[in-house]
Chains A and B, each alone.
Chain A
Amino acid sequence: MGSRLRAFGAFWYDFVIGDDWVIAVGVVIALLGTYLLSRAGVAAWWLLPVLVAVVLPVSLWRAVRSR
């Protein structure tokens, strides 16, 4: 039972988080920032494109460095 649960958790971790947790964490933080800025009445559409421009090179650099 325990190993099945672990396998189930590992499947979902691999499916959602994937090879680099930095991407998922970055997306969640950026969406939270977008929500908070929007609630405060500040234009927040730029935050996710900035996230992509920052997280993608960082994640690639981590992948290259670890090989």
Chain B
Amino acid sequence: MTAGAWALFLAVFLACAVEAVEATTIVLAAGTARDWRSAATGTGVALVVLAAIVAVLGPAVAAIPIRDLRLIVGALLLIFGLQWVRKAILRASGHKALHDEDRLYAEHLAQAQAQAARGEGGRRTALVPDWYGFTLSFKGVLLEGLEVVFIVLTFGSNQHNVGLAAIAAACAVVLIAGIGFAVRAPLARVPENTLKFIVGIMLTAFGAFWGAEGAGARWPGSDAALLVLIPGFALLALALTAWLRRTGSPAGGSPATAASPAMTSERAA
């Protein structure tokens, strides 16, 4: 594979892994608190709906002129990427609370259990004994799945390699879902802030690259410019994290727990 193809694979894999962590957390909460069969059916139906959306949107995205697509997608990725990096830096430097999958899992679990206590489950069927569990899983997988679809279609179309982007996404989803269901516990040990930090850098780099090309600029070295942009933005973000850490940590995170983003534990100490 070329350097550009590896960068595409890595960017899509990591971005989809973040979405998969969130979807898996919701499905695990629905299955644990309510009913596993309903949660599994909700997940399956959401995947069918997602496949239908891909079948409709895929050709539509491919029909947009590549320069216009790069300008629009580049602008959006650059904005999203900068927002992700900004939040990751604030978390890593202790200025914002760390995203805690344990807490999110507990919230979903408590909500599902409260509904169960009130006897709200809807009419039972063989495949869906509990409609609340079905709906919780369906919504979680559909919403996070739509983000995965957006990532695959935009990244894949821009690099003329939707197939590779789809393989990267499938690898991420299968890996994260496999781990989640093997341990049957929230994926709190997945270093989500570190993943978001890396994905934010990738989105920013791809966004700047495609946005500039869409606006008519030509990069020195063509695709190889990404190999300068990605480490360059990473160094900038690490330097900004170090700078903010020296200004104190009002969110309660200590510099010790919010060391280098690559070393940071996601669980608040």
Which of A20, A24, A34, A57 has a CB less than 8 Å from the CB of B212?
A34
A27 adjacent to B86 (CB under 8 Å): no
Neighbouring A residues of B220 by C-beta, 8 Å: 45
A38 adjacent to B232 (CB under 8 Å): no
The interface centre, meaning the residue of B76, B78, B204 with most chain A CB atoms within 10 A of its CB, is B78
A56 adjacent to B215 (CB under 8 Å): no
- A residues 5-59 with Cβ under 8 Å of B? 16-20, 23-24, 27-28, 31-32, 34-35, 37-39, 43-45, 47-49, 51-53, 55-57, 59
Neighbouring B residues of A17 by C-beta, 8 Å: 79
Known: A31-B71, A67-B250. A19 touches B212 (CB 8 A): no
Total interface residues in chain A, CB < 8 Å: 33
Which of A16, A35, A63, A67 has a CB less than 8 Å from the CB of B215?
A35
Give a binary string over B219-253; 1 marks a CB under 8 Å from any A CB, 0 the rest.
11000010001001100110010011001001100
The chain A residues found within 8 Å of chain B, CB to CB, are: 16-20, 23-24, 27-28, 31-32, 34-35, 37-39, 43-45, 47-49, 51-53, 55-57, 59-60, 63-64, 67
The chain B residues found within 8 Å of chain A, CB to CB, are: 71, 74-76, 78-80, 82-83, 85-87, 89-90, 95, 204, 208, 211-212, 214-220, 225, 229, 232-233, 236-237, 240, 243-244, 247, 250-251
Besides the known contacts A23-B83, A47-B212, A55-B82, 13 further A-B residue pairs in the complex with CB atoms under 8 A apart: A19-B83, A27-B75, A27-B79, A27-B211, A31-B71, A34-B211, A34-B212, A35-B215, A44-B217, A56-B237, A60-B244, A64-B90, A64-B95
